[in-house]
Amino acid sequence: MNLPQGLDPVTSGEINDLIREVQERYNTSSVIITHDLICAKHTSDRVAILLDLTIFQKVGVSKAFSKVMTSR
């Protein structure tokens, strides 16, 4: 069985917009677990970065994407 590997960029963007709209409209928080950094950037205010199954850093989204973060 062939399963889709991901959403196309347009659909992904629409879903990200809907998540952000719900967060703002209802003043809610969301927990989103993703490997999609674009999704994390557009739907999050804060991110927890995992390294070896442990939270490595918890930072604001702007800091998380301002430079490459490493464990060293």
Q: Is the pLDDT of residue 72 over 70?
A: no
* Residue carrying the six token digits 């442990």: 54
Q: In this structure, what are the phi and psi dihedrals at residue 60, rounded to the nearest 5 degrees?
A: -65, 150
**Quick one: how far is CA 47 from the chain centroid?**
7
Write the pLDDT tens digit of every residue in 3-47. Answer: 556 778 898 899 999 999 999 999 998 998 888 888 888 899 999
What's the pLDDT at 66? 80
| Number of residues written out for the chain | 72
The single-letter code of the amino acid at 11 is: T
pTM score, two decimals? 0.69
